[in-house]
Structure 1
Amino acid sequence: MGTSLTPEFWERFVVLLVLAVGLTCVLTAAFDGLAVRLLRRRTPKALPQMPHRPVRKDHRTSVHC
């Protein structure tokens, strides 16, 4: 005993499918934007660089510990 799918069913199916795809796209964009904002907020700021000591060319590094 089989049932046939009516045109009304297909119309509602298409409408619900389009709404689901649209809602998925909107929510994905919103959560992606939120995630990017949270990641930017959590990244540590660059610390100021300490000036390097000048390297002398005539000095050799010791190999003893």
Structure 2
Amino acid sequence: MGTSLTPEFWERFALLLIAATAVTFVLAALFDALALRRQLRHTHRPPIEPVAPPRAPHRPRNGNHRTSVHG
């Protein structure tokens, strides 16, 4: 039950092999570029520092003055 592989088979096989190799190289380059971009983005970010809430301005008080209830 031996079947011979025809020249048409080898032509299609070669074309599909070249196409698959090209797609593999293109996808590998794309994923490498995306990984490099992601890595560079994370390394160049400044460290996150906690921000203190703004403080109310200081008003000097007299010792004999009481704070108003109305504002």
TM-score normalized with structure 1 length? 0.65
* Sequence identity percentage: 57
The structural deviation recorded for 1:42 is 1.2
- Matched residue type, 1:43: T
**2:25 aligned counterpart, secondary structure:** helix
Find the residue that maps to 1:3 and give its secondary structure: coil
Aligned residues: 47
What are the ranges of 5 or more consecutive residues in structure 1 without an aligned counterpart?
Answer: 48-65
The structure with the largest alpha-carbon Rg is 2
Partner secondary structure for residue 30 of structure 1? helix
Report how far residue 21 of structure 1 moved.
Answer: 0.4
Q: 1:8 is matched with which residue?
A: 8
Q: Which runs of 5+ in 2 are unaligned?
A: 48-71
